[in-house]
Amino acid sequence: MLDRHQSIADLVLDHSECAVVFQRHRIDFCCGGKLSVEAAATAKQLDVEALVGELSLAIAERQGFPQVDLRELSTQRLVAHIIAKHHEYLRRALPFVRALAAKVSRVHGDHNPKLRDLATAVEELAAALLPHLDDEEQSLFPALTVEQPNREQVSKFLATMMEDHLTVAKILQSIRTASDDFTLPEWACNSYRALFSELKQMESDVFTHVHLENHILLPRFSS
For 56-88, the pLDDT digits (tens) are 988 887 766 556 788 899 999 999 999 999 999
- The whole-number pLDDT of residue 223 equals 63
Query: pLDDT digits over 101-115, tens only?
Result: 999 999 999 999 999
List the one residue out of 77, 58, 60 whose CA is nearest residue 19: 58
Taking CA atoms, 55 is separated from 65, 148, 182, in Å, by: 16, 40, 22
Q: Which residue numbers in the chain have pLDDT < 50?
A: none
pLDDT of residue 67: 67
Alpha helices in the chain (DSSP H): 8-14, 19-24, 37-43, 48-62, 75-82, 88-108, 114-135, 141-145, 151-178, 190-212
Q: Are 142 and 93 a contacting pair, CB within 8 Å?
A: no
Res 218: pLDDT: 94
Amino acid letter, residue 63: Q
pLDDT of residue 182: 95
For the chain, give every domain's residue range. Answer: 8-62, 73-221
Nearest one of 161, 171, 123, 116 to 140, comparing CA atoms = 161
| pLDDT score at 91 | 95
Give the bridge partners for 36, in sequence order.
Answer: 7
Instruction: Report which of 222, 217, 200 is spatially closest to residue 81, judged by C-alpha positions.
Output: 217
Cβ neighbors of 7 (< 8 A, separation 6 or more) are 33, 34, 35, 36, 37
How far, in Å, CA of 173 to CA of 180, rounded? 10
In one-letter notation, the amino acid at residue 109 is G
Do residues 179 and 196 touch, judged by C-beta distance below 8 A? yes
- Taking the C-alpha atoms of residue 67 and residue 132, their distance in angstroms, rounded to an integer, is 29
Closest CA to 128 of 105, 159, 98, 157: 98
What residues does 7 pair with on adjacent strands?
A: 36
